[in-house]
Amino acid sequence: MSQQEFWNSKFSRDGFLYGTKPNAFISSKIKLLRDKSQVLCLGEGEGRNAIFFAKKGYEVTALDASDIGLSKLQQRATEENLNIHTLCLDLNEWDTSHKYDVIVASYLHMHKEDRISLFEKIEESLNDDGYFIGEFFSTKQINYSSGGPRDEDLLYTVDDFKKSFALCDKEIYEQVTILDEGKGHQGEACVIRVVIQK
């Protein structure tokens, strides 16, 4: 099953699987953004983070493999009179020709073998002094029932991030938290939180 088929099956249900509020950790870092920043939301799904940043006046691009998820995002953006650029493609096919001031991601499900390439693309795509901000499920999430993949190959360790982004300032830590994100993420979870500055 392709990434598009997998996520379309998730997002084809009524409502918003992960709710409409932005990821709490990512939204808490908004003070790091400069005015008029260009923001890229990776694996953005139904658009909760993209809508949040667009409402704050940032220029937002949302990338996801699911055309159904992005269609829901665009419908919300239209209703709220927001202009958000969308790119429908698998992250493994992402072309890094454009630079951004901030790249955000919440719970990207990337196979371990694809991560080094993805992290290199993220670093390439950041402007100097730009930020990569994200929250990801730890491999310890396998012990919790609050959401996320049951396949350890799709979960992360702190070392996954520390081994990449060699020339960047990094703040990376693992934490147990309580998720309240729609039907998809509810309850106690073990996450890795990342703030990386180029």
List, for residues 78-93, the tens digit of each pLDDT value. 999 999 999 999 999 9
Give me the CATH code for the 3-197 domain, please.
3.40.50.150
Instruction: Give me the helices (H) in 105-172, please.
Output: 112-125, 158-162
* Contact (Cβ atoms closer than 8 angstroms) between residue 72 and residue 11: yes
pLDDT 10s digits, 132-174: 999 999 999 999 999 999 999 999 999 999 999 988 899 999 9
Q: For the chain, give the mean pLDDT.
A: 93
Q: Is residue 68 over pLDDT 80?
A: yes
- What pLDDT shows up at residue 97? 86
How buried is 53 (Cβ within 10 angstroms: 0-12 exposed, 13-18 middle, 19+ buried)? buried
How crowded is residue 85: how many other Cβ atoms within 10 Å of its Cβ? 14
C-alpha to C-alpha distance for 173 and 159, rounded to whole angstroms: 10
Which DSSP state fits 108? -
* Contact (Cβ atoms closer than 8 angstroms) between residue 72 and residue 16: yes
> Can you tell me the mean pLDDT for 109-127?
94
Which DSSP state fits 98? S
pLDDT 10s digits, 23-49: 999 999 999 998 889 999 999 999 999
**Distant-in-sequence, close-in-space partners of 196: CB < 8 Å, separation ≥ 6:** 131, 132, 133, 161, 165, 168, 169, 170, 171, 172
91-106 as b/e, with b when 16 or more CB fall inside 10 Å? beebeeeeebbbbbbb
pLDDT 10s digits, 186-196: 999 999 999 99
**In percent, how much of the chain has pLDDT > 90?**
83
pTM recorded for the entire structure: 0.94
Residue 18: pLDDT band (50, 70, 90) is confident
- What pLDDT shows up at residue 167? 82
Residue 101: pLDDT band (50, 70, 90) is very high
Bigger pLDDT: 96 or 117? 117
